[in-house]
Amino acid sequence: MQPRVIHITVLALLLILPACRENNPIELVEPSVTEPLEVSLPKERDTTIVEETTLDLTGLIQQDEDVYPGTVLVTGVKSDIGGVQTQLSYARILLKDLRSPIPVKGNFGSYTGFLHLDVGKAKLDDDEFDVAEWIIQIKSLTLIPVKAGFFYKLGFDGLRVTRPIFYLPRHQYAIDAEGKGAIRPFKLKVDAPDEVNVLAPRPEGLVFRDEDLVVRWNGKPGNFVRIILSTYSETTGRAVKPVIVFGREFGEDPRSNSLLISSKLLKLIPEGRFMMTFMSANREEAAIEGYPDRILVQAASIRNLIITLR
């Protein structure tokens, strides 16, 4: 009977060894893992205008801004870039007036911007928003600054400090404004989702494009989850250009804490180092009397990390 035991042991080892190959962090796909419903390759921005990319701060891409000229945002952001962990909180009110174009020209082309509307004194809970000028910068022999109205912000956007705030998970935020001109006084509410942490992939993780990637996180997600892979600046640690976007909306049913990105989708992305922005958000559409366009109200927990695709 001894030879039979030896054969069984060898067979067991042959079955175990392939499973020990360490590529993407988690390879076993559980039945509860869901796939993204939204997959998009973001369109190119107009290169005539110089804009600070804020997708790693807001979780928004150009398509969001095209659909929603008005945005009211509250975000809590944690980043793990180059071995340095940072944390910030940010809020803003921005209402773009599509009926008030601002045509501008530079040496490298022309661009049509839009006026950003003043909403009067505004608060996030008990914190009064700071008012800042919205400046369009046009590429020319020198940068041409063009004033285009106002927007409202609190916290730190990674560039300029305003009145500080701290993102509160599971908190219902109230946004109030007195209104000004055509914009009537308004009150909006939004529920902040749990603070989430990405469990896989890990910061500076290696992801193989010929294998499915399961992104996992803890904390109950909001009604919308988005993953953005972007090029990024080694100097500033900020996202530069989105390459591909994955998203999924959740209803009231139990919500998964994982999202599967198939190897077929990963192969659409070249090899290299990318910033992965993970956003868990509660988002809804709102209306403000006197403002005729669509408004996105969003509270989000955002995580940024660097991965390498091979």
Q: Looking at residue 10, what is its pLDDT?
A: 35
**What mean pLDDT is reported for the chain?**
85
Q: Looking at residue 143, what is its pLDDT?
A: 72
Count the domains in the chain. Answer: 1
| 32 pLDDT tier (thresholds 50, 70, 90) | low
Q: Looking at residue 18, what is its pLDDT?
A: 42
What is the reported pTM? 0.84
| 298 pLDDT tier (thresholds 50, 70, 90) | very high
Question: For residue 16, is it within any domain?
Answer: no
Question: For residue 235, is it within any domain?
Answer: yes
Question: For residue 14, is it within any domain?
Answer: no
pLDDT tens for 88-129 read 999 999 999 999 998 877 666 777 889 999 999 999 999 999
Report residue 32: phi and psi, to 5°: -80, -10
Question: For residue 276, is it within any domain?
Answer: yes
Cβ count within 10 A of residue 19:
8
Report residue 8: phi and psi, to 5°: -65, -40
pLDDT tens for 38-96 read 898 887 665 555 555 588 999 999 899 899 999 999 999 999 998 889 999 999 999 99
- Residue 133's Cβ-side half-sphere holds a number of Cα atoms within 13 Å equal to 7
Cis preceding-peptide flag for 203 (omega within 30 of 0):
no
Question: For residue 167, is it within any domain?
Answer: yes
Question: For residue 27, is it within any domain?
Answer: no
Q: Distance between CA 215 and CA 81 in Å, rounded?
A: 18
Question: For residue 304, is it within any domain?
Answer: yes
Cα dihedral 137/306/225/303 (nearest 10) = -80
Q: Do residues 251 and 267 touch, judged by C-beta distance below 8 A? A: no
With a pLDDT cut of 70, the percent of the chain lying above it is 83
Write the single-letter amino acid at 251.
G
Closest CA to 87 of 304, 277, 306, 297: 304
pLDDT tens for 4-15 read 433 433 333 333
Question: For residue 28, is it within any domain?
Answer: no
Tell me the β-bridge partners of 88.
Answer: 77
| Residue range(s) defining the domain that contains residue 236 | 38-309
Q: Count Cβ neighbours within 10 Å for each residue of 182-201 and write b for 16 or more, e otherwise.
A: ebebbebebebbebbebeeb
Q: Do residues 302 and 277 touch, judged by C-beta distance below 8 A? A: yes
